[in-house]
Structure 1
């Protein structure tokens, strides 16, 4: 899964309609080039690929500018990508970063449910790494790899547990709640 694809769909969805430069400058302002590898070339590539796949509609109402709008197929794909990124731990942080940027697209209950799935997966990774670390005898330097996996998963467990607690106590406006930026077309204050 591409974090850039998730972010592009999410931004277009958030604005209701957006042009490539707006999407790129938003991602630049979020420093997404560093945490999601969302560079200008990958953004425009994603826009073309998503349009070709029928997930975005392109509009040419302004000379020299293409605006994009998410389709029903794009909405389905966006929510699928978002749910997978929240639910499944990945070794690269870009998927989770993209999911966190778009988290208010989910209801509070769904976000907590998906995060609980993530928590269970992280606990399993942590416990498996601990067992491998405890039982490893060959090539002693490999114990550092299992130690890294255990440490990383343990940090993920602590962070995920904290986010679940924050969401359960009402932190952040989520989909369907007053002030939520998670509804399609709900970002007009940010629009040009």
Structure 2
């Protein structure tokens, strides 16, 4: 799964129509160049690829010769939601995909977001139990004993992820954030860039 793919689809979706420079400006404004490693060239590549795959449509801009304006298709919308759901359940060591999912969290109904994050929480708890089982046991043959510190670091990282996920679930249960089933202007919905609060 690609964070850039999710972010590009999401930005086009919220603007209804967007060109490469707008997508880039939006993502750089969020700092996505840092937390999702989004590069200028990867944005244009993603736009062209998504259009080739039928997930976006591209039309020449009447205002700016040489500029292509993109809009999301029904298949693109389905792909955006698939990627978003996958991002929110992701427990991988890299945070770029989860971060991209969080950028569009409010595009989902509240109950679905809670369900996805609850799945993430369960996977993290299972992962912690597995890593904790390895902590304190003698290293594998050929591994220095201090490598046990690596397992302790993993446990600490997982524990942080568990605490954060629980807190976000509780925030959502308490009614924080405007979600897709609260308002048709919830950020992440088509056209919401023009009607809702910014990140």
TM-score range, shorter chain: over 0.9
TM-score with structure 1 length normalisation?
Answer: 0.95
Unaligned runs of 5+ in 1: none
Does structure 1 conserve the Cα–Cα contact (< 8 Å) formed by 2:10 and 2:188? no
Does structure 1 conserve the Cα–Cα contact (< 8 Å) formed by 2:139 and 2:147? no
- 1:87 partnered with 2:83: no
Compute the RMSD of aligned alpha carbons: 1.3
- 1:147 partnered with 2:152: yes
**What secondary structure is seen at the aligned counterpart in 2 of 1:57?**
strand
Mean Cα deviation higher: 170-179 or 110-119: 170-179
Q: Judging changes above 3 Å, is the alpha-carbon distance between structure 1 residues 189 and 106 closer, same or farther for their aligned structure 2 residues?
A: closer
* TM-superposition CA deviations, 1:89-109 (whole Å, max 9, x none): 111000010000011111100
* CA distance in 1 between partners of 2:181 and 2:69 (Å): 27
* CA distance in 2 between partners of 1:61 and 1:43 (Å): 18
Q: 2:73 — aligned with what? A: 71
Unaligned runs of 5+ in 2: none
**What secondary structure is seen at the aligned counterpart in 2 of 1:135?**
coil
* CA distance in 1 between partners of 2:174 and 2:42 (Å): 37
Q: For residue 177 of structure 1, report the CA deviation from its aligned partner.
A: 1.3
Q: For residue 134 of structure 1, report the CA deviation from its aligned partner.
A: 2.6
* CA distance in 1 between partners of 2:71 and 2:91 (Å): 30
Q: For residue 175 of structure 1, report the CA deviation from its aligned partner.
A: 0.6
Q: Which runs of 4+ in 1 moved over 3 A?
A: none
- 1:9 partnered with 2:14: no
The number of residues matched between the two structures is 190
Q: 1:55 — aligned with what? A: 55
